[in-house]
């Protein structure tokens, strides 16, 4: 069997398993080059792939409800117990989903 056929055969197998509902495909965007990647999981483990997103989104929304405004990066970092840089990266990454934006300083 030639190596040229292996990716096609693999994709055909993945498509078949997905059609039979034995696996699910979750598209994710790569951080490095912003290309879309396909992640595959068993249906009962689908939540593990989107776990980070769910936690971040729920926490930002919870803080917004509690504070009556969007939380600052520092408040997000405190809530998660993570460095400010990581909190900032996560806040901006999920901003399109949460609606989060940095607070504007008032003059």
Per-residue pLDDT tens over the stretch 7-37: 899 999 999 999 999 998 888 777 677 788 8
Q: From CA 1, how far away is CA 4, in angstroms rounded?
A: 9
Q: What is the H or E stretch that residue 15 is in?
A: helix 6-19
pLDDT band at residue 44 using 50, 70 and 90 as cut-offs: confident
- pLDDT of res. 104: 67
Question: Residues 26, 45: contact at Cβ < 8 Å?
Answer: no
Per-residue pLDDT tens over the stretch 2-15: 677 888 999 999 99
The mean pLDDT of 24-52, rounded to a whole number, is 78
What's this model's pTM, rounded to 2 decimal places?
Answer: 0.53
- Beta strand spans in the chain (E): 24-29, 36-41
């Amino acid at each position: 069997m030639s190596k040229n056929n292996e990716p096609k055969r693999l994709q055909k197998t993945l498509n078949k398993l997905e059609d039979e509902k034995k696996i699910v495909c979750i598209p994710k965007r790569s951080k490095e080059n912003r290309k879309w990647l396909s992640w595959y999981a068993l249906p009962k483990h689908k939540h593990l792939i989107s776990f980070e997103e769910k936690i971040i989104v729920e926490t930002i929304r919870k803080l917004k409800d509690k504070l009556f405004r969007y939380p600052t990066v520092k408040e997000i970092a405190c809530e998660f117990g993570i460095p400010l840089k990581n909190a900032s990266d996560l806040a901006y990454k999920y901003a399109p989903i949460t609606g989060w934006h940095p607070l504007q300083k008032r003059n």
